């Protein structure tokens, strides 16, 4: 049966039903959703309105969720159930083919800031490397008839990622209200992989060169010092196998992008040797190889107390780097949406971060 919604106000212990009214226009509903997508009850970032397809048609609203999945929001307007469902399926067949780069281009054309910044503002996390691994079609209606309900339910039974949300418009005196209900509960939603093919890898392709390296200062007292790393040419990590393992995997010839947690990126350089323990590390100064542990250092790179020995897992590990460009802590570079995580080192894939680093530091954008 068709979805019908009622709302009652309890007045003096008795229910009083609010009057249903006609939505002034579904265009107004579209504007409300564009302004605040939380009306849907699903955290979404709107990345396009009236998005033109190659077929001369226009998608009402295009959005992504925190997982980077694409959502097509199509308003029913005054179309027949067959027409609106067919239109949603048509749009879905095109959206399923969109690459990450194409989605970023659509979003950047619509948003006032880069997609990465807007994504972090809404979801409080960095954008996934790949977008559009899954797709959801949603029909938005100010009323939902029995025919629409039958068609959507039938398609869902066959695994089509489609749902319908119904908004009731109610009035009382000089106040207006919106009430929302979904045709199918979110926990029952059926979502198919975009394109209908095999599930794609979560990570974007890697350029084979760039690595992210976290240079955590003050992890212990007095802690490692970035000024030591700048002066003597190294990055380091240690105090446990979890911290040093990823750094020890960075190969000679890799380009490292050094990041100080909660501050930003401070240097770009090329790895010139394998990682070694701090007490065995040599660095090159003025063309001479010198023992790092014998230099006047601002930081402390020993974890053991009272001269006790350290195991390889516990020790600080030094990765020698020939710096291309660096800056002091106070000049750390950061833009909302850039990549960062808790690992000491890892492959840096996010193009947004790589492009910004290329612009800010003396590196070649083409290399990134």
Q: pLDDT band at 188, cuts 50/70/90?
A: very low
Compute the average pLDDT of residues 119-143.
Answer: 86
State percent of the chain over pLDDT 90.
42
3-state secondary structure 149-171: HHHHHHHHHCCCCEEEEEEEEEE
- Residue with the bigger pLDDT between 4 and 89: it is 89
Compute the average pLDDT of residues 102-117.
Answer: 92
Compute the average pLDDT of residues 174-180.
Answer: 75
- State yes or no: cis peptide before 222, omega within 30 of 0: yes
In contact, 228 and 298? CB cutoff 8 Å:
yes
User: Whole-number mean pLDDT of the chain?
Assistant: 83
> In the prediction, which pLDDT does 136 show?
92
Q: pLDDT band at 3, cuts 50/70/90?
A: low
State percent of the chain over pLDDT 70.
85
User: Full-prediction pTM beyond 0.75?
Assistant: no
Compute the average pLDDT of residues 45-72.
Answer: 92
> In the prediction, which pLDDT does 203 show?
54
> In the prediction, which pLDDT does 212 show?
95
Q: Residue 242 above 80 pLDDT?
A: yes
> In the prediction, which pLDDT does 196 show?
39
Q: Which domains does the chain have, with CATH numbers?
A: 8-196 (3.40.1350.10), 210-360 (3.10.590)
> In the prediction, which pLDDT does 1 show?
45
Q: What distances in angstroms separate CA 138 from CA 70, 156, 241, 282, 367, one per listed residue?
A: 11, 12, 47, 61, 41
Beta carbons within 10 angstroms of residue 78's beta carbon = 8
> In the prediction, which pLDDT does 144 show?
67
Compute the average pLDDT of residues 119-142.
Answer: 87
Q: pLDDT band at 284, cuts 50/70/90?
A: confident
Residue 364 dihedral angles phi and psi, to the nearest 5°: -90, 125
Q: pLDDT band at 218, cuts 50/70/90?
A: low
Compute the average pLDDT of residues 248-268.
Answer: 95
Compute the average pLDDT of residues 2-14.
Answer: 66
> In the prediction, which pLDDT does 219 show?
53
Residue 321 dihedral angles phi and psi, to the nearest 5°: -135, 135
């Amino acid at each position: 049966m068709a979805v019908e919604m009622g709302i009652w106000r309890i007045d003096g212990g008795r229910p009083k039903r609010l009057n249903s009214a006609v939505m002034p226009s579904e265009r107004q509903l579209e504007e409300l959703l564009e302004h605040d997508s939380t009306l849907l009850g699903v955290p979404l970032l709107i990345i396009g309105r009236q998005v033109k397809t190659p077929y001369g048609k226009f998608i009402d609203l295009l959005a992504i969720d925190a997982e980077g999945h694409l959502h097509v929001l199509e308003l029913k307007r005054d179309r027949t159930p067959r027409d609106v469902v067919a239109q949603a399926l048509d749009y879905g067949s095109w959206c399923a083919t969109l690459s990450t780069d194409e989605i970023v281009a659509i979003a950047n054309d619509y948003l006032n800031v880069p997609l990465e910044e807007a994504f972090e503002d809404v979801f409080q996390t960095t954008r996934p490397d790949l977008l559009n691994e899954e797709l959801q079609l949603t029909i938005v209606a100010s009323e939902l008839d029995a025919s629409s309900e039958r068609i959507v339910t039938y398609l869902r039974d066959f695994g089509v990622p489609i749902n319908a949300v119904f908004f009731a418009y109610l009035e009382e005196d000089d106040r207006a209200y919106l009430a929302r209900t979904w045709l199918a509960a979110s926990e029952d939603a059926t979502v198919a992989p975009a394109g209908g093919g095999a599930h794609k890898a979560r990570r974007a392709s890697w350029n084979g060169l760039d690595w992210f390296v976290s240079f955590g200062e003050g992890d212990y007292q007095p802690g490692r010092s970035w000024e030591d790393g700048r002066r003597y040419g190294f990055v380091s990590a240690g105090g446990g196998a979890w911290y040093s393992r990823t750094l020890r995997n960075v190969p000679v010839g890799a380009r490292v992008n050094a990041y100080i947690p909660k501050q930003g990126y401070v240097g770009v350089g090329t790895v010139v040797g394998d990682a070694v323990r701090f007490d065995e590390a040599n660095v090159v100064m003025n063309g001479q190889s010198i023992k790092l542990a014998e230099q006047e250092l601002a930081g402390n790179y020993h974890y053991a107390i009272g001269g006790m020995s350290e195991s390889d897992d516990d020790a600080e590990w030094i990765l020698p780097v020939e710096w291309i460009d660096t800056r002091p802590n106070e000049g750390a570079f950061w833009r909302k949406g850039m990549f960062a995580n808790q690992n000491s080192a890892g492959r840096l894939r996010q193009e947004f971060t790589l492009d910004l680093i290329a612009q800010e530091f003396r590196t070649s954008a083409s290399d990134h």
